[in-house]
A and B are shown apart, each in its own frame.
Chain A
Amino acid sequence: MKVKSRISSFELFFVLVHTMVGVGLLSLPYRTNIAAGNDGWISVLITGIMIQLIVLIIWFLCRKFPNLTLYDFSQVILGKTPGSVVNLLYILYTLIVVSYVFVIFLETLKRWILPETPAWILFLMGGFLLIYGGTSTIKQMVALFSFLFLFILLLCFIKVLVFHDSPKDIRYLLPIGSNGAWTILKSTSSTFVSFLGFETLLIYYAFMKQPKKLSAMKGAFLAVLFVILVYLFIVISSTILLSPDEINHTPEPVLYILSASGMTLISRFDLIFLAIMSLIVVTTIISYTFSASIGISKLIHVKHKTSVILFGVFVLAVSAAFYYLELAIPGQWINLLIIIFGLIIPIILLFITIIFKREESSIHEKN
């Protein structure tokens, strides 16, 4: 694939962190609590380890096709037409995921900050940011993400500050493992959705500088590790700060905790947190848009800019349809989609690659 510039492993870290940390963070403790009670953090840990393994599988696949994206090597592995079908499916999947994130995010915004504002204005603002951010090159996107990484750290700092300040009871975590191993294992399926975004590695790996080496994956592993640590902290702190009964009734425990605490100058931390969080959510959307529009521009042979606008319009249409027709996309569906597109299809592709010895690298680049 012809690219203007390549990214280092360090830069891949920012891209993956920003794709993964997103709207799922706000309701994560609620979901884990429903699925696994006070052992939600174990479920996050297990899911995280599973994601690390999946990332490794994706790497096995991608290293066979250096500097090619999924949209290129799917056609090498499966042949022209089936490959195109897989590409189309991936684009549709991304469309659904982005729309899902969009709708959830808008609902949160409306619930917490802007109850009176008509939704279409928020749709338009989000659409503008999506298109403006998505039309940049990979280097510009990495630049933006690395800068906004400081804001993720700021979010963690606010969380730590509030955690330090509030009344807490560590006994809410005990007894560890009381829900039984099977429940905890089963609950991982609902934690999966929070790690949404690791599968973009299938596309971003084509931008890597030295794709054959394992050190190229350092960024990806560290990114997943970072996300695991942040999520663990969020889940454990929410479990400690809220009683089991409370947490069952708060769909966004992260914001709820923040709204209750205040300092001398700022009385409501949740508003600041949500404002900063919004930046992070938009980066998820931008990253997905970027990856999907690469596929669109390959599929119908248009420029990157055109495909971003096309994708943006589709996202707006789909998410507006979901929002106004009040069709809630169940989290379970998204979970299923992630497992199909993040795990099963890569594994199938990997098997075909190994069995039929498919291998190809970019004709534009010597590795």
Chain B
Amino acid sequence: MLFKQNKSQTKIQKKSSINQSVLSIENIKTQLNHSDDIMERELHSYKNHSYIILYLSPLVDQDILESKIIKPLIKMENNDIQNEVHNEEIIRTNSNEEVIKRLLEGYCLILEKSGKKEGFLLKALAAYDREVTEPSIEQTIQGANVGFVESIDKNIFLLRQNTRTPKLTVKSYTFGTVTTTDVRIVYVEGLANPEVIKKLEKRLKYFNVDSIRSPGDITDSIEDHTFTPFPQLLLTERPDRASANLKDGKVVLLIDGSPVAIVLPATFMSFFSTPDDYITRWELGSFFRFLRLFSYMNALLLPSLYVAVVSFHYEMIPLELVYSLQTSISYVPFPPVIELLILQLSLELLREASIRLPPSVATTFGIVGAVVVGTAMVEAGIVSFGALIIVSITAVSSFVQPNIEMRSSIRVLGFPLMIYAAIFGFTGIWVGLLTIFIHLSRIRSFGEPYFVPFAPLKVRDFKDTIVRVPSWMRNKTHAFKKVKKSRKWKLDESEEPY
């Protein structure tokens, strides 16, 4: 294992409660609390040496144990485990602490019975990983059908396969004082911003917990700003997307047991791109980019604009529309904002219910919930059709946003905006919007401005954010230094003018 060597460098080494006593079977068993899954076997080799093998049976692959450890051990000619037993990793140790740690990682301990106070640790970890499958949330039309899995080694394998360079660097960390979890930082040396790596390492140094329960534990403590609706770390379950980000100079954080990679630093606009944008032709990719941005604003502003127009500024919309809206609204006993809140709430209920239900029922449920209840509500005069249309468009627009966390920011910001609009009309909306703008221009992600091509305004960077220009027209970043020349060939090779 290449990366285990770095472990000695980690700063997170805690003072262990385990005392450095003599290495013996009894000691180890005591420290593992005589748990029932500790297996102990005594072996006699061909040359009549006796050994004791100790391991935690659920963690160890019986096949590996039989064929790669026990068999060679019995057949051993000389008493030389290091050379005669062929295993991917053999560690020679006399420290109790090391033995305990390795046993929990799926190693087995071989002790000579003759009383030498030295044992050998051999790796026999059972791999119960699931197969690499298609990602369930971030689906693409034409992209690769590979998603991250729960095993951190397999994830790094996926990243290395997509990013084939000697500069790819993996740094290994172990967190948790009670239960431990492996965390790895992956980046391409030379492309990634050293400042970002330094910041990340510093923040991880402060991260000191008993145990990591979920990736949220770690993202909460390394994010720049916690009290903001905007996510500053991009979570992806696609290796191709993670490695594309690596090539753009981003840093990827992997946590053992979680099938998502955390990409950082993430700017506002990075949540609006999908891998499909770069696979389809640029016109289509740009259109979808633009559509996503538009739909985000739509989902954020449409309800509050509706409330403001209907309750204060009905002179803004054409007269014919005022009449038809008026006839519908006049039967409704609530003010427009309450109407919208009722509808939004029922929509949230539908959404939550359809996630919990099995897919076969969810479709039927959707039809009943959305169509039947929606129509009935309008006909019963509880809500007006205008409000129903607005909420439906808002919901559809919010589903266009590819990232779940960015989508939730719409909800967090949309409700206050709506209430502002209900109290102050347009003034409320612009006050709310300006607050959001000030906030967006203040927050940063690992030192990089969050709202970047807009604030600070960089028109040149619009090329790969709002629109997706053809790859050879992109700005010269590290990864695309030579790409301009890729269109230097001539369209028409023949010399004749006509």
Contact = CB atoms under 8 A, between A and B. Distances in A.
Interface of A: 11, 14, 109, 113-114, 117, 121-122, 125, 128-129, 132-133, 136, 139-144, 146-150, 264-268, 271-272, 274-276, 278-279, 282
Nearest to A277: B430
Contacts of B431: 125, 129, 278
Contacts of B438: 129, 132-133, 136, 144
Given A142-B456, A143-B451, A150-B457, 15 more contacts: A11-B456, A113-B313, A113-B426, A113-B427, A121-B424, A129-B438, A132-B435, A139-B456, A140-B442, A149-B457, A267-B315, A267-B319, A279-B430, A279-B433, A282-B434
B316 A109 contact: no
Interface in B396-444: 424-427, 429-431, 433-435, 437-438, 441-442
A271 B313 CA distance: 8
B425 A114 contact: yes
A117 B424 contact: yes
A22 to B, nearest CB: 14
B427 A122 contact: yes
Nearest to A109: B427
B325 to A, nearest CB: 13
B456 A146 contact: yes
29 contacts: A109-B427, A113-B312, A113-B425, A114-B427, A125-B431, A129-B431, A129-B434, A129-B435, A129-B438, A139-B456, A140-B441, A140-B442, A144-B437, A144-B441, A146-B455, A147-B451, A147-B455, A149-B457, A267-B315, A267-B317, A267-B318, A268-B315, A268-B316, A272-B426, A275-B429, A275-B430, A278-B427, A278-B431, A278-B434
A284 to B, nearest CB: 13
A150 B431 CA distance: 17
Nearest to B429: A275
B434 A279 contact: yes
A78 to B, nearest CB: 36
Contacts of A150: 454, 457
B396 to A, nearest CB: 20
B427 A148 contact: no
A267 B457 contact: no
B427 A275 contact: yes
Interface string B147-166: 00000000000000000000
Contacts of A141: 441
B430 A147 contact: no
B259 interface: no
B275 interface: no
Interface string B180-204: 0000000000000000000000000
Contacts of A121: 424
Nearest to A259: B315
B144 to A, nearest CB: 36
B17 to A, nearest CB: 45
Contact of B318 (A264, A272, A282): A264
A264 B312 CA distance: 20
B442 A136 contact: yes
Given A113-B427, A129-B431, A275-B426, A147 B315 contact: no
Interface in B279-323: 312-313, 315-319
The 9 closest A-B pairs by CB, nearest first: A146-B457, A147-B455, A143-B455, A144-B441, A143-B441, A143-B456, A147-B454, A275-B430, A275-B426
B265 interface: no
A229 B317 CA distance: 32
A117 B312 CA distance: 12
Interface in B431-488: 431, 433-435, 437-438, 441-442, 449, 451, 454-457
A349 B318 CA distance: 58
Interface residues of B, number: 27
A114 B424 contact: yes
A128 B439 CA distance: 13
A133 B430 CA distance: 14
Contact of B441 (A122, A147, A149, A275): A147
Interface string B199-219: 000000000000000000000
A69 to B, nearest CB: 22
A144 B455 contact: yes
Contacts of A142: 456
B426 to A, nearest CB: 5
A60 to B, nearest CB: 29
Contact of A148 (B312, B435, B437, B442): B437
A122 B312 CA distance: 16
A136 B442 CA distance: 7
A81 B451 CA distance: 44
A265 B315 contact: no
B230 to A, nearest CB: 15
Contacts of A149: 457
Contacts of A267: 315-319
Contacts of B455: 143-144, 146-147
A147 B449 CA distance: 13
A120 to B, nearest CB: 13
A11 B457 CA distance: 9
Contacts of A148: 437
A147 B457 contact: yes
Nearest to A7: B456
A197 to B, nearest CB: 18
B450 to A, nearest CB: 9
Contacts of B434: 129, 133, 278-279, 282
A128 B424 CA distance: 15
Contacts of A114: 424-425, 427
Contacts of B429: 275
Nearest to B433: A279
Nearest to A282: B434
Given A147-B441, A267-B317, A278 B457 contact: no
Interface centre among A132, A133, A144 (most CB of B within 10 A): A144
Nearest to A265: B318
B316 to A, nearest CB: 5
A109 B312 CA distance: 14
A268 B313 contact: yes
A117 B437 CA distance: 25
Contacts of A117: 424, 427
Interface in B315-348: 315-319
A30 to B, nearest CB: 23
Contacts of B424: 114, 117, 121, 125
A108 to B, nearest CB: 11
A286 to B, nearest CB: 8
B316 A143 contact: no
A289 to B, nearest CB: 12
Contacts of B442: 136, 140, 144
* Residue in B317, B319, B431, B451 whose Cβ sees the most chain A Cβ within 10 Å: B431
A143 B427 contact: no
